[in-house]
Amino acid sequence: MHDDHGAKNVGKMIQITALIRATTYIFRVLPAFVLMTAMPQSVFAGPEANTGFLGQQRQYPRVREALRKKTDVLDRSLAAQGLKSTGLNILIIAYKSEAILDVYAKNPGETRYGKLISYPVCASSGDLGPKRKQGDGQVPEGFYRIDRFNPMSNFHLSLGIDYPNAADKLKTRAARLGGDIFIHGSCVTIGCLPMTDAVIEEIYLYAVHARNSGQKTIPVYIFPFRMTQENMKKYETLYRGQPEMLSFWRNLKQGHDKFVENGEALRVKVTQGGDYDFGP
């Protein structure tokens, strides 16, 4: 009986000690808990709290530096068109002969794009005409989209283009069509669209903001030249001995003219023969 009674006393002492410790802990932690719940969550947010695609891209030093240098530039450019980086869709058009890349933009709820800004393409390779095989040095021509963001590129920053597309694959018999076509920094190229580092920072950030705004498909249209009637007559004369090339360019002009007419992103399909079809 004595041993049992002693055990009960020991048990009570242990319970009392545990209760005292728990009470002390609660009174020590409670003020901090109340303080945390009363303060804005952003006060405690670290890099991991910066969610979304923009937050992911901020993890890379070159993107952070581009944001530091270019945010005001982009905001002014967008504001002049009644746009904001927090709600943005973009579309990119490049003209090989003129060495120009145009960025078009709109609000996500709108249908028509308006030209936002033009940039010079700072180097070129190949000739006019589409890319049809690996190693030909050609810049593609056709209707593409951005399929990669590379914040650690060998060429500063780069945006991948989804060459070869379905039309390219049907229009060639080459075993290897090549790939890794980018809009990138550094003025060197074999088949890409190179910009200066300062320019690619702006284009890259426009694309990041668009993706962060929910734009899953960023179109990229690459034309051999500005496809006006005057230019078509000029190049039909210069390339009159290449009917296949001229047929391809006339097909591209259909899409070109439709975009110029209504400013809307094209609904591009590919026929069994590899031509582009832009619908009704």
Positions marked active-site = 184, 192
Question: Do 190 and 149 form a contact (C-beta atoms < 8 A)?
Answer: no
- What end-to-end distance do the CA atoms of the chain give, in Å? 98
d(CA 144, CA 164): 9
Q: Are strands 276-277 and 269-270 parallel, antiparallel or unpaired?
A: antiparallel
Per 3-state DSSP, the chain is made up of helix, strand and coil in percentages (nearest 5) of 45, 20, 35
Rg from Cα positions in the chain: 29
Alpha helices in 39-165 (DSSP H): 52-57, 61-79
| Cis, peptide link before residue 164, omega less than 30° from 0 | yes
Q: Which pairs from 253-260 meet CB under 8 Å and 24+ separation?
A: 253/227, 254/278, 255/143, 255/221, 256/221, 256/223, 256/227, 257/227, 259/93, 259/221
- Beta bridge mates, 269: 277
**Distance set, CA 185 to CA 71, 90, 138, 189 (Å):** 18, 19, 18, 10
